[in-house]
Amino acid sequence: MAYEKQAPDWSAAGIEPPQSKRDSGWQVEDRPPAAWLNWFMNRTSESLKELQGKAAEKAWVEDELGGITVQDASLTQKGIVQLSSATDSAAEDRAATAKAVRDAAVQSKVYTDQQMALVTETGVPKLVSYPLLVTAVEEGQTEFEIPLDTFDANTDTLLISINRAVLDATQYTLTNTVRGEDGSVTQRAMLNLASGLKTGSKVAMVVLKNVPLGPEGAINGAVLAEGSIPSNRVSGFDAHLADSVSHVHYGPDTGTANAKVVTLNPAPVAYVEGLAVSFKNAVQNTGAVTINVNGLGTKSILKSNGSALSSGNLKVNSIYTLRYNGTVFILQGEGGEYGTAAAGDVRSGKTIGTDAGLVSGSLVTRDSGGAVTVAPGSSVQTLQAGIYDHAITVNAPTATPGNKKILYDFNYITMSGSGWKSAKRVICGISGTYRISITVQTSNADYQANVRIYKNGNPYGTLRLFGSFTPITYTEDLAFVAGDVIEVMLSPDNLGNATLTGWTFGVENFGMLVYDYA
């Protein structure tokens, strides 16, 4: 394409003026440098050349566009698409407007609601019919009351025959039932005939309840989709779902070891007594625990016995259920009370429940091999601590008669008066026959005294009279049973009938030798 006026050629590039000059412009009496003028002329020349090189003439563009034809769009080809607001069209070369889409959605909802109303509360489609008969009471009568309070022209179908001739919908109109604010009928529905009837003419009617008659015929509840629920069966269902006392709502724990945070859906609006919360624990607790549900505030978690949780009560990834008692949350299904038994009170190999969980016992069973028999010895024997399930038998000691000294003692008493006095008293521990050895003496050869063994407060052994300053030993074998009180008794030589003052009698050696066990 040629231009009548070619862009001038100006090759001198010049120097671009500073921005300040370009902002203020030429002033009166200014004499711009040649370099600035060359820059302006060069830039203008180059711009015009670019425009002429890239521009197209209007006529040429119109010629080119005039040769383009855009076909109508189809399912397989792009093209021109016409808009349509129809909601019942079957055309495939139209595009629905936003209004058409909205209208279709509204109609769909209305249709669905109608279908749900056609189903009984048990979910079974119902079809109820009412046969009715009215008679013309005046010549040319065209209006007849429909004697059915429940008739609804919007959802019911009315079949009419006059003197056995069936009427179609073009031969009559209906006026619907009128109800007051309380739902009571103030005006029954009316049948309006196009032509009047003679007096006595019979008008037979059949009302088909919940069977609306449309352009394509009547429908009933049988066309409802599987799984549909009538609206009167879901009333209050949302409130039922949101009931956090009758239902246990679940949410994951997003808190820390001892501060649990749980978000439930639907969310409770407040902490109420009986509120149930179930959560999957994220971190094992290390001590007492709190919980915050849906940001309603922090509450303690306690066991059913009112005590705080112990370390390890809440395991990782375990699911726990809580109930709010009006003050705190109570852990459900927890073991409750525990006793005071510790590991040292329980048999080894067995466990016991505690606040800290299961604890293994440490008591050792010492007689796993059977009954235990302890043989007597010359030294103390100790049974190890632990559990003994069988009888423990301790054998009686065996001894050679007369060679085991079991008691040795020395004692002096001063006699100041009359009567028998005890010089030594012991209690027998084992039944048997003992060899009693008594060594006695006086503090003066001129004194005499009596000595005798008593048993349980009564004379038992041989009565002995001594009066030597030199020790004298008496020996005799006597039988005793466990628990007997054995005493060495002393008295003046007159058997306690004289009163003595300052006499001293001594039992130098009182010995008991084993002679024979019973």
215 plus 262 within the same structural domain: no
Of 40, 59, 78, the last residue of a domain is 59
CATH at residue 439? 2.60.120.260
Split into its structural domains, the chain has a count of: 4
Contact 424, 452 (CB under 8 A): no
Contact 445, 469 (CB under 8 A): yes
411 plus 513 within the same structural domain: yes
Token digits of residue 340: 């005071």
431 plus 508 within the same structural domain: yes
Token digits of residue 473: 């030993």
**Measured CA distances, 318 to 236, 278, 327, 517 (Å):** 34, 11, 25, 70
**CA 171 from centre of chain:** 70
Give, rounded to a whole angstrom, the gap between the first and last alpha carbons of the chain.
Answer: 152
Q: How far apart are CA 315 and CA 474, in angstroms?
A: 83
Q: Is residue 104 part of a domain?
A: no
Q: Give the amino acid at 150.
A: T
Q: How far apart are CA 38 and CA 30, in angstroms?
A: 16
pLDDT in 10s for each residue of the chain, 518 residues = 567 778 888 888 889 999 988 888 888 888 888 888 889 889 998 888 888 778 777 777 777 777 777 777 777 778 787 888 887 777 777 788 888 778 777 777 766 666 566 555 555 555 678 888 999 899 999 999 999 888 888 878 888 988 777 888 888 899 999 988 777 889 999 999 988 888 988 899 888 887 776 655 555 544 444 555 555 556 677 777 777 778 898 999 999 999 999 999 888 999 999 999 999 999 999 999 999 999 999 999 999 888 899 888 899 999 999 999 999 999 998 766 677 788 888 888 888 877 667 888 888 888 877 888 877 766 778 888 888 888 888 776 655 555 555 555 555 555 555 678 887 788 887 787 887 888 777 766 666 778 899 999 999 999 988 776 677 888 888 888 888 998 888 876 654 443 333 444 444 444 444 444 33
* 266: preceding bond cis by omega (within 30 degrees): yes
Token digits of residue 422: 């005890």
pTM over 0.85? The answer is no
207 plus 265 within the same structural domain: no
Q: Torsion-angle region of residue 419: left (phi > 0), alpha (psi -120 to 50) or beta?
A: left
Contact 450, 463 (CB under 8 A): yes
206 plus 267 within the same structural domain: no
CATH at residue 142? 2.60.40
Token digits of residue 364: 């050792």
Q: Is residue 276 part of a domain?
A: yes
Q: Is residue 109 part of a domain?
A: no
Q: Which domain holds residue 414?
A: 405-517
326 plus 250 within the same structural domain: yes
Rg value, the chain, Cα: 62
471 plus 425 within the same structural domain: yes
Q: Which of 461, 477, 468 is nearest to 512 (CA)?
A: 477
Q: Is residue 410 part of a domain?
A: yes
Q: How far apart are CA 494 and CA 488, in angstroms?
A: 17
Of 190, 219, 248, the last residue of a domain is 219
Residues 6+ positions from 162 with CB-CB distance below 8 Å: 193, 197, 201, 202, 203, 204
Q: Is residue 479 part of a domain?
A: yes
Q: Is residue 379 part of a domain?
A: no
Of 312, 331, 350, the last residue of a domain is 331
102's enclosing H/E stretch is helix 98-117
Q: Which of 509, 489, 492 is nearest to 448 (CA)?
A: 492
Q: Is residue 468 part of a domain?
A: yes
Q: Give φ, ψ of 34 to 5 degrees.
A: -60, -35
